[in-house]
Amino acid sequence: MALFVLVRSIYCKSINRIVLTQLKSFTTSINNNPVRFSAWVLCIAICSPLHADDRQTKTAELEAKLAAQPAESFDVNLNQQLRDLYLPINVKKSMFHADAILKRNVLDDYLRRVLSNWEKDKSKSIEVLSKRAMEHSEFANLSAACWIWSGDLSESRSDARSFYSKAWNVKGAYNGYREALEDRLAMDSANRKPWPKKFLPPKEMSKTPGPWSDPTRTSVWPNTSSRANSDPWLAEHHDEIRLMRPRVLVINFSNEHTREHLDRMLKQLVDTLGESSRYHGYRNPKAPVFLEYQIFKFVDLRDPIRKDGNSNKVPLKDPNATSGFNTMYRQFFTFEFADNYGVPDPRDSERNLRLYELLDGGFVHEVWFLRTRPRRLPLSALSKSSKKATIRRQASENWG
């Protein structure tokens, strides 16, 4: 316990509520133990607040480091230190750095605890977070995060929806907060907007298979009675189905192959899967195909100029990684990718459907990714100018 407080104190170099809380609980266990008493005294010495001049010097040093960073980079640890240093002397500057962190790390859990003053009581946490959201409304990401956290902590559904509504009305917050709110509201059955009884195809998709082209006969799935994955109807009418026609969203990241080549490959794959689904086809060549995949949409995300490797639009956890599982799959469910898919919401013409909505509405049943096969080259054999591009290409090839 004493060691943890010591490490935490060295890192923060200032008194904060968690250290004080831990020290208070620690004093109750000191009794007459000299070792514990010495550790306690040492912690008090290290926890002493920085002198004003020392704080100013340290802050100036970190601000200089921050200013020297490239525009595209972001150092979370540096901003955390500045947030902590500014807190006793300039709350607004402290919240500025908290807002910057929350823009990059949506709903950062460590900041949730910091901004709620480490309160364990839910009602007190809500009170503190709500106050911060109102007092620092100029920081959109911080304000939206505090309202969302307040909603997450609420035990009443109506209270939660009220807090989420306040977060929704925050202007200028990073798109990730709107997505987080949609996730919370859309997954609540009480808030889910019903799908229309009859679908009309978007103008540019009139010839595309979709819910608007589903048959009424129940021997084929999807149909007008059932169209989404995991629909209870599938289990109830399992024996009636004679043909399944799942729709596939194809997302291409390969820069190297022409659309014609990829279309041929997809057709071969669809035909092969269909052929393999004939019941006892090895005995009866006339046995009907049971599985007939349909391409719902081909989303081509290749780079406009590059002709090698994979697209820069592959969502990566770490752009510099050259091995391991590196795909950030959550990005496929974002508004950014919804715009890439380009399927208008039949309930709201001002927005495109996100991936979970495409699945929930029965527009799509599977997602297939196309990418270039990795070709590894030793970085030592490359010129300095091509190393960065090669690392990025290799990072985009690490899927998992």
Per-residue pLDDT tens digits for 91-125 = 999 999 999 999 999 999 999 999 999 999 999 99
Q: Cα separation of 326 and 60, whole Å?
A: 36
Q: Is the pLDDT assigned to residue 21 strictly greater than 60? A: no
Asked, as a colleague might, if the bond just before 222 is cis with ω within 30 of 0, I would say yes
Q: Cα separation of 230 and 227, whole Å?
A: 9
Q: Is the pLDDT assigned to residue 151 strictly greater than 80? A: yes
DSSP 213: G
Helix (H, G, I), strand (E, B) or coil at 118: coil
In the chain, which residue ranges form alpha helices assigned H by DSSP?
A: 2-12, 17-27, 34-47, 52-68, 76-86, 91-104, 109-115, 122-135, 140-153, 157-168, 175-186, 232-236, 259-276, 335-341, 355-360, 384-396
**pTM value surpassing 0.75:** no
- In our burial notation (b when 16+ CB lie closer than 10 A, e otherwise), range 336-363 reads ebbeebebebbeeeeebbbbebbbbbbb
pLDDT band with cut points at 50, 70 and 90 for residue 191: low
Write out pLDDT tens, residues 202-222. Answer: 988 999 999 999 999 999 999
More confident residue, 203 or 14: 203
Q: Is the pLDDT assigned to residue 238 strictly greater than 60? A: yes
Nearest 5°: phi and psi at 88?
A: -75, -20
More confident residue, 292 or 40: 292
Q: Is the pLDDT assigned to residue 6 strictly greater than 70? A: no
Q: Is the pLDDT assigned to residue 39 strictly greater than 70? A: no
| pLDDT reported for residue 45 | 41
pLDDT band with cut points at 50, 70 and 90 for residue 319: confident
Mean pLDDT for 379-399 is: 52
| pLDDT reported for residue 317 | 77
pLDDT band with cut points at 50, 70 and 90 for residue 394: low
DSSP 211: G
Tokens matching residue 265: 């490959």
More confident residue, 99 or 19: 99
Task: Give the pairing type, strands 247-252 and 366-370.
Answer: parallel
More confident residue, 374 or 308: 308
| pLDDT reported for residue 47 | 47
Q: Is the pLDDT assigned to residue 44 strictly greater than 70? A: no
Question: How high does pLDDT run on average in the chain?
Answer: 84
| pLDDT reported for residue 175 | 85
CB-CB contact of 126 with 117 (8 Å): no
Q: Is the pLDDT assigned to residue 10 strictly greater than 50? A: no
| pLDDT reported for residue 187 | 66
CB-CB contact of 42 with 6 (8 Å): yes
Angle between helices 34-47 and 17-27 (to 10 degrees): 160
Q: How long is the chain?
A: 400
Q: Cα separation of 300 and 260, whole Å?
A: 12
Q: Is the pLDDT assigned to residue 165 strictly greater than 90? A: yes
Tokens matching residue 96: 């500025």
pLDDT band with cut points at 50, 70 and 90 for residue 63: very high
Mean pLDDT for 161-165 is: 93
Q: Is the pLDDT assigned to residue 38 strictly greater than 70? A: no
More confident residue, 160 or 379: 160
Range with the poorest average pLDDT among 102-106, 260-264, 387-391: 387-391
Task: Give the pairing type, strands 348-352 and 344-345.
Answer: antiparallel
Q: Cα separation of 135 and 118, whole Å?
A: 18
Q: Is the pLDDT assigned to residue 344 strictly greater than 90? A: yes
Cβ count near 253 (within 10 Å): 23
More confident residue, 17 or 98: 98
| pLDDT reported for residue 148 | 97
pLDDT band with cut points at 50, 70 and 90 for residue 55: confident
Nearest-CA neighbor of 230 among 76, 373, 359? 359
Q: Which residue has the tokens 């040492």?
A: 42
| pLDDT reported for residue 393 | 54
DSSP 121: S
Q: Is the pLDDT assigned to residue 182 strictly greater than 70? A: yes
Range with the poorest average pLDDT among 185-194, 220-229, 298-307: 185-194
Percentage of the chain exceeding pLDDT 70: 79
Cβ count near 267 (within 10 Å): 11
Mean pLDDT for 82-97 is: 95
Percentage of the chain exceeding pLDDT 90: 62
Angle between helices 157-168 and 122-135 (to 10 degrees): 20
